[in-house]
Structure 1
Amino acid sequence: MTKAERIDRIATILILLLALAVVGLVITVLGLILIPGISHISWHFLTSSSQSFETGGGIFDQLFNSFYLVVLTLLISVPLALGAAIYLNEYAKQNWFTDSLRLAIEVLSSLPSIVIGLFGYLVFVLKWGLDFSLLAGALVLTILNLPLLTRTSETALSQVPNLQRQAGLGLGMAKWQVILKIVLPAALPGILTGAILSAGRIFGEAAALIYTAGQSTITVNYQDWNPFSPTSFLNPMRPAETLAVHIWKLNTEGLIPDASAVSSGAAAVLVLTILLFNLGARLIGHLISKRLEK
C-alpha cells in the first residue's frame, strides 16, 4: 500500500467516524425524548383538553393550536417569500442593492427567536393592538421563517434550466407568463419541500410565541365556525398556547401533579410530528419530481 493510499484510507475512516458520531448523537437525543414519552401517548391524551391543577389532562387544544398556527403562518409567509425569490432570481440585477438584500436576509436568519419574539410583542401586540393572539404569533413566525423560505424558493427557481425560459420567450410568451407557466411548475418540488420544512420549524417554535400567541388557552367551541366569535376555533384573534409553549410552561411551572408525564408525552408528540413533516417534505418532493418527469 502506497503512502497516498494509506492517507486516503485514514481520511475515509475519520470521515466515517465523524458521520457515525453525528448519527449517534441524533439517535441519542431522539431516544432520550421518545423512550420516556411514547408510553404516555394514548388516544385520550391526544383528544382531551389540558388540566390546570388536576391529573389526567391531554394536549388536544395545544395540538390544534399548533397546526392552526402552521397553516396561518404559511398563508402569510409563502406568498411573501415566493415573491421575494422571484424578484431576486428572475428580475433583479446583480448589484449592490441585491447584495444588500441578500445580506439582510442572512442577518435576519441569524437573529435569535427570543429577540424576534420581543419585537413582535412590542410591535404586533402593543403597537398594533393585536394582543396575545394567533395572528400576532403568525406574524412573528413569518419574520422568523422568511429567510428560510426565501432561500429555498430562490434555490429551487435557480435550478430551472435557462433553456426552458428561452423556449417560452421564443414562443412569444411574456416574462411573467414564462415564470407562471414554466418556471414555477418546474420549481414546485423544491418550493414545497422548503415550505414543509418551514412548517416543522413553526410547529416546534416556543420562544417567539410566549410573547405573541400567549401562554393561555381559552375554552374553545369547536362547533362554532364563525371566525369572529371570541370562542370559535377559527378566530385568529384569540390567545392560543401551542404545544411547544405548553411543554415549556409545564417544565417551568409544573402546577399539575403529573406535569412530568404530560411534558414527556407532549415532547414525544412534538418530535414525532416534526419528523413526519421532514419525511413528508421528502416524499412530496420525490412524488412531484417523478410526475413532472413523465
Structure 2
Amino acid sequence: MSARLADKVATIVFWACALMVIVILGSMIGYILYHGGKSIDWDFLTKPPQVIQAGGGIGPQIFNSFYLLVLSMLFTIPIGLLGGVYLAEYARNSRLTEIIRLCIETLNSLPSIVVGLFGLLVFVNMTGWGYSLMSGALALTVINLPLMVRFTEEAVQGVPDSLREASVALGANRWQTIIKVVLPCAFPGLVSGAIITSGRVFGEAAALLFTAGMSSPALDFSQWNIFNSSSPLNPFRPAETLAVHIWKVNTEGLIPDLRRVADGSAAVLILIVLGFNLSARWLGRKIYRHMTAT
C-alpha cells in the first residue's frame, strides 16, 4: 500500500469513527428530548411532584440542584485555584510533588459511590449534620476538586514565561506577578474550567444518595430565614436533586405519572448540562477575545 493510499484510508477511518460518535450521541440526546420534551411546561418546571395524583413537577428538585451547585462551588473554586497555582508556580519537581499529583489523579478517577460512602461516614455521621445540602456539597467538592486543580494548573502553565519575566523586570515580586499578570491572562481558561466542573454537579447522583438524601421537606419560598427547616436556603436540610429524583422515580414507582416525570426530568437535565458546556465554550472564547483584543 502506497503512502498516499494509506493516508486516504486512515482519513476515511477517522471520519467514520467521528461520525459514528456524533450519530450515537445525537440519537441518544434526540431520543431523550423527543420523549421528555412533551412533558415540559411551566407547571412541570415549577410545581412539586405529586405522590397521590398525577400532574406533579420538578420545581423543588431544580432549585435544590442549583443551590447545591452554588454551595459546592463556594468550596471547590477557591481551594482548586490555590492548589492549581501552587502546582504551576511554586511546586518543584520532587517526590512530594509527584505524590500530590498522584493523589489528584487518583481522586479524579475515584468512583462517586466511594465518595458517597466517605461523605456518609464523615460529613453525615461524624459532623452530626445528617442528610443535608452541606454534606452533599462537601462530597461534591471532593469529586470536583481534582478536576478544578487540573484545569487551573493547565491554564496557569499556558501563560507565556515572557509575561512573567517582564513583570519581574518592572519590579513586581512573585506574588504580584501571579495576581496581576498570570491569573488575568489565564482567566478565560479558569472560567471554562469552573463552568465545566459545575456541569458535573447536575449529573451526580450516587454520592448524593448517601449525603444529601432522597427526599426534601415541604419548602416555603416566602421563608428566607436560613435557620428555619422549611426555608429553601437552609443548607442543613435534606434535599433531593434532579438526578437523584430521576433515579428515585424509576426505582420506587410511587407516583401515578411516572413515565412523564422521568422523561421530562431527563430532558431538563440534558438541557441544563448542554447549556453549561456550551456556556463554557462561549464565555471562555468571549473573555479571551476581550482580553487579547482579537
Amino acid across the alignment from 2:136: G
SS in 1 for 2:184: helix
Q: Name segments (4+ residues, structure 1) moved above 3 Å.
A: none
Alignment correspondent of 1:10? 9
Q: Distance in 2 between matches of 1:107 and 1:241?
A: 28
Q: CA deviation at 1:160?
A: 0.5
Alignment correspondent of 1:212? 211
Q: Distance in 1 between matches of 2:3 and 2:83?
A: 48
1:1-294 alignment to 2 at 5 Å? 3-294=2-293
Q: Deviations over 1:135-179 (max 9, x none)?
A: 000000000001111111110000001111111111111211111
Q: Distance in 1 between matches of 2:52 and 2:114?
A: 32
Q: Deviations over 1:158-205 (max 9, x none)?
A: 000111111111111121111111111111111110111111110111
Q: Distance in 1 between matches of 2:52 and 2:112?
A: 30
Amino acid across the alignment from 1:173: A
Q: CA deviation at 1:53?
A: 2.7
Aligned-residue identity in percent: 51
Q: CA deviation at 1:232?
A: 1.1
The number of residue pairs the alignment matches comes to 293
Q: Distance in 2 between matches of 1:185 and 1:87?
A: 16
- Extract unaligned runs of 5+ from structure 1: none
Q: Distance in 1 between matches of 2:126 and 2:211?
A: 12
Q: CA deviation at 1:51?
A: 1.3
Counterpart contact for 2:51–2:256, Cα < 8 Å: no
Q: CA RMSD in A?
A: 0.9
Q: Distance in 2 between matches of 1:34 and 1:118?
A: 33
Q: CA deviation at 1:32?
A: 2.3
Q: Distance in 1 between matches of 2:42 and 2:244?
A: 21
Q: CA deviation at 1:52?
A: 2.1
- Extract unaligned runs of 5+ from structure 2: none
Q: CA deviation at 1:222?
A: 1.1
Q: Distance in 2 between matches of 1:174 and 1:26?
A: 49
Amino acid across the alignment from 1:227: I
* TM-score (norm: length of structure 1): 0.98
SS in 2 for 1:149: helix
SS in 2 for 1:56: coil
Deviates more, 1:229-238 or 1:278-287: 229-238
Q: Distance in 1 between matches of 2:94 and 2:271?
A: 44
Q: Distance in 2 between matches of 1:246 and 1:161?
A: 46
SS in 2 for 1:77: helix
Q: Deviations over 1:86-132 (max 9, x none)?
A: 11001110111111100110011111101110110011101111110
Amino acid across the alignment from 1:95: S
Amino acid across the alignment from 1:261: R
Deviates more, 1:217-226 or 1:187-196: 217-226
